Amino acid sequence: MLQIFETEKVRTLRPRLQHLLEDHVYPHELAWAQRPFSEVAPILRALRPEVQAAGLWNLYLPAELGGPGLSLTEIAQLSEWLGRSPYGHFLCNCQAPDAGNIELLEQYASPELRDRFLEPLLRGEVRSCFSMTEPEYAGSNPVMMGTTARREGDAYVIDGHKWFTTGADGAAFAIVMAVTNPEAESPYARSSMIIVPTDTPGFELVRNIPVMGHAGSGWHSHGEIRYTGVRVPVGYRLGPEGAGFLLAQERLGPGRIHHCMRWIGICERSFDLMCQRAVDRELAPGRPLARQQMVQAMIAESRAEIDAARFMVLHAAHKMQEHGQKAAATEISTIKFFVAGVLQRVVDRAVQVHGALGVTDDTLLAWFYREERGARIYDGPDEAHKAALARRILKAYSPST
């Protein structure tokens, strides 16, 4: 932990979070991972009173919304610990996409929408999903979108096709990005965000998309959805009409900090497993893997990369916290592709050190490898962030670049 960023709140809450995970989560993860989430959710919800008593509920929210009022850098440090388990964020009601949806609702929802949709989320009574990506269009270009929401009196009628709608299975409602202003001169002013309860006629969860052979359920599923004549009140729109892209950017900036610190948590957990395996596994009597120079190199490289990644993310979080999201745009692009790469390399090394065991579901490594390969794709692929970073750098050398 970098002392420069650590605060009294972090020093108080981190040990509580660590004990909660070690006592109630780590011993059961592998068994839970083999069961549908509908069977695991009640177990996790039964632990939530203990989470609340420890002051770990809604960690990323201000006090007026039931959270501990942490800064972005404080949230980032605790998010790393939550990320060490696939169930950490859900246990504390900090899971994506609900965390980002709560932030949107808190800022843009009317009093009526807050009562109906925000308050149940804050209490952990329901889940939500975020429906933006479409199979027919490049997800790296969010202004290209085929889903439409046309006005008919005091209602929107939504038609379209989405996929990778995270958490759709079991969600009470979706926040949908749809084109409402197709004639707008700027492509960035054509879409809006609209709340759609999932029991609305015309909303169809087609399937949970299998990821590398495994179709998840519950909040870590990725749903394919059809919207066919879905009718909702105009008042279910968030923010001004045509402001969907702007809202999405506001949502994604802090979200990338959360993602990156969660990935570092996964790296630390994988690193622990790798080191323990290196010590315990013998190639021959008295010859543990830990004595092999190639394994030592994997451990050394992983330690250096994880520590570098953590410092970069906390630096980006501090800059955003102090100067706003726009001022930290360069740092956000940098950490998004750098930390995603570190994640992939560290998990891959841990799998390699475990040998055949590493590709089975007898450890969490195969789960991490399968579920987190998408880190280099979602919220902007590596290539998009590298190009954006390079353009900003080169402007200092040639304004016409």
Question: pLDDT tens digits, residue range 205-214?
Answer: 999 999 988 8
Residue 185 lies in a domain: yes
Summarize pLDDT for 82-123 with one digit per residue, the tens. 999 999 999 999 999 999 999 999 999 999 999 999 999 999
> Can you give the length of the chain in residues?
401
Could you list the residue range(s) of the whole structural domain that residue 134 is in? 128-240
Please count the structural domains in the chain: 3
Q: Please answer whether residues 265 and 84 qualify as being in contact, where contact means their C-beta atoms are separated by less than 8 angstroms.
A: yes
pLDDT at residue 174 greater than cutoff 90: yes
CATH number at residue 221: 2.40.110.10
pLDDT > 70: percent of the chain: 99
Give Cα 323 to chain centroid, integer Å.
23
Identity of the amino acid at 164: F
Euclidean distance between CA atoms 156 and 229, whole angstroms: 9
Strand pairing partners for 155?
152, 233
Q: Please answer whether residues 267 and 309 qualify as being in contact, where contact means their C-beta atoms are separated by less than 8 angstroms.
A: yes
- Asked if residue 303 and residue 324 are part of one domain, the reply reads yes
- Asked if residue 161 and residue 80 are part of one domain, the reply reads no
Q: What is the pLDDT of residue 31?
A: 95
Residue 161 lies in a domain: yes
Euclidean distance between CA atoms 367 and 95, whole angstroms: 17
Q: Please answer whether residues 242 and 189 qualify as being in contact, where contact means their C-beta atoms are separated by less than 8 angstroms.
A: yes
Q: What is the pLDDT of residue 140?
A: 77
pLDDT at residue 312 greater than cutoff 80: yes
Residue 110 lies in a domain: no
pLDDT at residue 2 greater than cutoff 70: no
pLDDT at residue 4 greater than cutoff 80: no
- Asked if residue 254 and residue 141 are part of one domain, the reply reads no
Spatial neighbors of 60 by CB under 8 A, at least 6 apart, are 67, 70, 75, 79, 94, 99, 258
Summarize pLDDT for 22-81 with one digit per residue, the tens. 999 999 999 999 899 999 999 999 999 999 999 999 998 988 888 999 999 999 999 999
CATH number at residue 380: 1.20.140.10
Most confident of 1-15, 140-154, 222-236, 372-386: 222-236
pLDDT at residue 401 greater than cutoff 80: no
What's the pLDDT band for 142 if we cut at 50, 70, 90? confident
- Asked if residue 385 and residue 270 are part of one domain, the reply reads yes
Whether this prediction's pTM lies above 0.75 is answered by yes
- Asked if residue 159 and residue 80 are part of one domain, the reply reads no
Mean of the per-residue pLDDT values of the chain: 94
pLDDT at residue 337 greater than cutoff 90: yes
- Asked if residue 236 and residue 257 are part of one domain, the reply reads no
